[in-house]
Chains A and B, each alone.
Chain A
Amino acid sequence: MSNQIIQGILLGGYYALIACGLSFMFSVMRIINLAHGSLAVFAAFALWLLASRFHVPPFLGLLIVLPLMAAIGWALQRFLLERSARGGALLPILTTFGLAIVIDNMLFEQFGADTRSLAPYIGSLSYDSWEWPGGIYVGKLAVIMFATAVILLGGLQLFLTRTRLGRSIRATSEDPDTAGLVGVDARRANAIAAAIAMVTVGLAGAFLGMRATFDPYAGAPQLLFAFEAAVIGGAGSLWGTLIGGIVLALAQTLGAQVHPQGFLIGGHAVFLVVLFVRLSTSGLGLRGLLRLPSRSAP
């Protein structure tokens, strides 16, 4: 059982990776990007294409794909989100949902319905494991994934609190107009934040491809996982996202123990339970399910 728990915790690293971009973007721009999962799958396909067609190993391929994702994030913010956000809070939901449909079906058009994986291109890493005391085997990939999540979340936290750019992003998220008054270019800050978010999405997509299989329509479940982990992690710091990811993964692991089809059910159920508890204790609406670390509690 302790083996299952460790595997669950390590899987939580993946959910934290995919969730941190979503909650980062929400906390900065107040937008939930419904194309989030589809973009992660897009990144996975890009790496797969590089590996299968041009023999670029996935870890090297990241050097191409991550800048590409950053560019996509920048363009996404400039040409899509910025414009639709002016139309109110509901329009970006519709725009990004439409975008997700376009991405999913374009991927299907291009790559067909086959499920793919990056596992064949990373050598023995996909199945190598370390033996820990107590006869527990942990996959090297899972450990790398978890470590990446920790480093990424810590790096993001440091970036937001310690650098000038990070502070200007936080200022923009607090109050774009006032930030503008003190010389912060809100458009630039938002575009950079979107680019950073997409880089994390690219990383998440890479690990999605390495640890499992994916197909053109795999984006929707990834979006749900990201959302659930971000909400379970809830208020507080980006570290909350890591805890959210771990809770989600543990619930899924437990669900799979109870019933063969219980993996996903367990995850959704724990999400709803957390939501229910949060709603009944807060009394207020849920203005702050997802929030930025700098924000002080109301």
Chain B
Amino acid sequence: MSASAPMPVIERGTATSRIAAIATALIIALLAIAPRVLSAGAVDRMTALFIYVILAAMWNALAGFGGLVSVGQQVFFGLGAYFAIRLADAGLNPFAALFVSAMAVGAVSWPLSLFMLRLRNGEFAIGMWVIAALTHLLINLDRLVQGETGTSLISLNVYDAGPRRVTIYWLALASMTALLAVLFGLLRGSTGAAIRAIRDNEDAAASVGVRVTGTKRLLFVLAAFGIGIAGALWLATSITFQPKTYFNVQWTAYMIFMVLVGGIGTFEGAILGALVFFLIETWFGGTGVWYLVGLGATAVLFSLFLPRGLWGTIEERFGLRLLPVGYRVRLTGNPAALAGDGASSPPRQTIQHQERA
């Protein structure tokens, strides 16, 4: 045994992750039939949760994987809602308008990325905020919106409240599932390796031939598209459109909170963070200002003392992978041969630091 060379095995999943995959499918199926038993209020809340998950996952894709911290993502949230209003006003079916709108947001984000992605770190972060502020001001000039008075997605009112609520719920669930699946596929595929390389060291990644800008652009457009859908769905649930509400920086604050608490740069972390945020909002949302102070303070504390967030910490502590997007190297031979004095190591040692995803 001691003479045999270690045989590294590359794994893409674990027994836990295979169970998790089945569980995920089950959860989605259960969520799909949930409106049959849930009250109207609960359906609305669950829709909000799905939107939060989208927001967290998209901001995480950008910041956690692309290394692009933006405090102006509310621009896509607002544009998603605004384009939906405009399209519905032009006579498009309001439900179709939600998705056409998101595609328009994605289309707008592409030329924007040519420009913005050349900024770095904090410059990119505030630069996006300027873009959001300017877009907000320009949208206020639209006569249809009537400045801060706002307008409504009137054409949605032709549908009965009950079926409308459930339809929006399903649309939100489907959007969330599809976006998470796309992100998961991206991260697990060859782009995922590039994304993680960029996240860990951008210059080194570029030097070994990773297409840094192209990959970042992909994430930027995906995040814009996803947040656009989220904005359009939010409009569908609340009907009214006030630019001040949609272009509010608080949306980005929520995204940052969810991702920091859940675990930046981990696929599951963003979902966990959205869930935590949803529960906090449900319990403390009524306390108004102190709730916002608490959110900000928690974000500060997490970034200072637990920068990998809840999920990152759990993952590190227990080597747990539910939805693995990375590679995992396991040594099946005698680890002592490699680790020198690692005689006390368990026989099946997993090298944690080989994978961070």
Complex CA–CA separation, A209 to B295 (angstroms): 28
Among candidates B126, B130, B297, residue contacting A102 with C-beta atoms closer than 8 Å: B297
Does B256 make an interface contact (CB < 8 A)? Answer: yes
B69 → A minimal CB distance (Å) = 5
Q: Mark A105-127, 1 if CB is under 8 A from B, else 0.
A: 11011000000000000000000
When C-beta atoms are compared, the residue in chain B nearest to A102 turns out to be B296
Q: Contact between A287 and B120 (Cβ–Cβ < 8 Å)? A: yes
CB pair A32 B289 closer than 8 Å: no
B123 CB contacts on chain A under 8 angstroms? 32, 231, 286, 289-290
- Across the interface, do B304 and A80 meet the contact criterion of CB distance under 8 Å? yes
- Asked if A87 is at the interface of the complex by the 8 Å CB criterion, the answer is yes
Query: Are A224 and B126 interface neighbours, CB within 8 A?
Result: yes
* Stretch among A91-99, A133-141, A175-183, A235-243 lining the B interface: A91-99
- Cβ 8 A contact of A90, one of B121, B127, B137: B121
* Residues of the A chain whose Cβ atoms lie less than 8 Å from the Cβ of B129: 220, 223-224
Interface residues as binary, A261-292 with B (CB distance below 8 Å gives 1, 0 otherwise):
10011001101100110010000011101100
Asked whether A98 and B303 contact (CB < 8 A) given A90-B63, A105-B289, A285-B118, the answer is yes
Contact A94 B138 (CB under 8 A): no
Residues of B within 8 A of A286 (CB): 118-120, 123
Query: What residue of chain B has the Cβ atom nearest to residue A94's Cβ?
Result: B303
Task: Answer whether residue B115 sits at the interface, using C-beta atoms and an 8 A cutoff.
Answer: yes
Question: How distant is the Cα of A289 from the Cα of B124 in the complex, in angstroms?
Answer: 11
Residues of A within 8 A of B134 (CB): 265, 268-269, 272
Q: Is the CB of A101 within 8 A of B295?
A: yes
Q: Does B71 contact A (CB under 8 A)?
A: yes
Q: What's the minimum C-beta distance from A207 to chain B, rounded to whole angstroms?
A: 22
**Partner among A26, A93, A95, A269 whose Cβ is within 8 Å of the Cβ of B125:** A93
Q: Mark B80-124, 1 if CB is under 8 A from A, else 0.
A: 000000000000000000000000000000000001001111110
Say yes or no for A84: interface residue by CB 8 A criterion: yes
Is B168 engaged at the interface, CB distance under 8 Å to the other chain? no
Contact flags (1/0) for B275-315 with A, using CB distance below 8 Å? 00000000000000110110111111001100100000000
State A94–B306 Cα separation when bound (angstroms): 13
Q: Which residue of A lies closest to B63 (CB)?
A: A90
Q: Are B130 and A227 in contact (CB under 8 A)?
A: yes
B299 in contact with A89 (CB, 8 Å):
no
Docked-complex contact B304 and A224, CB < 8 angstroms: no
A101 in contact with B253 given A94-B299, A264-B137, A275-B127 (CB within 8 Å): yes
B256-A98 in contact (CB<8A): yes
The CA-CA distance from A287 to B300 in the complex, in Å, is 26
**CA of A279 to CA of B298, assembled, Å:** 37
Chain A residue at minimum C-beta to C-beta distance from B138: A265
B140: Cβ under 8 A from any A Cβ: yes
Does A83 interact with chain B (Cβ within 8 Å)?
Answer: yes
Are B300 and A224 closer than 8 Å at their CB atoms? Answer: no
Chain A's nearest CB lies how many Å from the CB of B249?
6
Q: Report the Cα distance A227→B133, complex, angstroms.
A: 13
A17 on the B face (CB < 8 A): no
Q: Is the CB of A91 within 8 A of B307?
A: yes
Chain B interface, number of residues (Cβ within 8 angstroms): 40
Interface contact A224-B141, CB-CB below 8 Å: no
Across the interface, A279 reaches (CB within 8 A) one of B115, B131, B137, B299, namely B115
Answer whether residue A100 sits at the interface, using C-beta atoms and an 8 A cutoff: yes
Q: Is the CB of A109 within 8 A of B289?
A: yes
Q: Which residues of B contact A102 (CB under 8 A)?
A: 293, 296-297, 300
Cβ-defined contact, B256 with A97, below 8 A: yes
A20 contacts the other chain (CB 8 A): no
In the complex, whether B260 has a CB less than 8 A from a CB of chain A is yes
B300 in contact with A90 (CB, 8 Å): no
Say if the beta carbon of A215 comes within 8 Å of chain B: no
B138–A109 CB distance below 8 A? no
Residues of B within 8 A of A99 (CB): 296, 300
* Contact B69–A90 (Cβ < 8 Å): yes
Chain B residues closer than 8 Å to A69, beta-carbon distance: none
Check A26/B133 contact, CB under 8 A, given A91-B303, A102-B296: no
- From the candidates B126, B131, B256, B297, name the one contacting A32 in the complex (CB within 8 A): B126
The CA-CA distance from A241 to B299 in the complex, in Å, is 32
Residue B269 at the chain A interface, CB threshold 8 Å: no
Quick check: is B333 within 8 A (CB to CB) of the other chain? no
Digit string of B139-150 for contact with A (CB within 8 Å is 1, else 0)?
011000000000
Could you tell me the distance between the alpha carbons of A272 and B118 in the complex, rounded to whole angstroms? 13
| Cα distance A223–B307 in the bound complex, in angstroms | 25
Complex Cα–Cα for A106 and B126 (A): 23
A83 lies within 8 A of B293 (CB): no
Report the separation of the CA atoms of residues A51 and B133 in the bound assembly, to the nearest whole angstrom.
33
Complex contacts, B293 vs chain A, CB 8 Å: 101-102, 105-106, 109
Minimal beta-carbon separation of A127 from chain B (angstroms): 29
| A84-B303 contact, Cβ under 8 Å, with A32-B125, A97-B256, A102-B296 | yes
- Asked whether B67 is an interface residue with its Cβ less than 8 Å from the other chain, the reply is yes
Task: Indicate whether A98 sits within 8 Å of B115 (C-beta atoms), given known contacts A261-B141, A287-B120.
Answer: no
Chain B residues near A108: list those with CB within 8 A: 289
Bound complex: CA of A101 vs CA of B170, how far in Å? Answer: 33
Within 8 Å CB of A84, what residues of B? Answer: 303-304
Contacts of A290 in B (CB 8 A): 123
In the complex where A90-B63, A101-B292 touch, is A220 in contact with B121 (Cβ < 8 A)? no
Q: List 6 A-B contacts (CB under 8 A).
A: A91-B303, A98-B256, A99-B300, A102-B300, A108-B289, A261-B137
18 new A-B contacts, CB < 8 A, other than A87-B307, A276-B115, are A31-B122, A90-B63, A93-B121, A93-B122, A94-B256, A97-B253, A102-B297, A102-B300, A105-B289, A105-B290, A220-B249, A224-B130, A228-B130, A259-B141, A268-B133, A272-B130, A275-B127, A279-B118
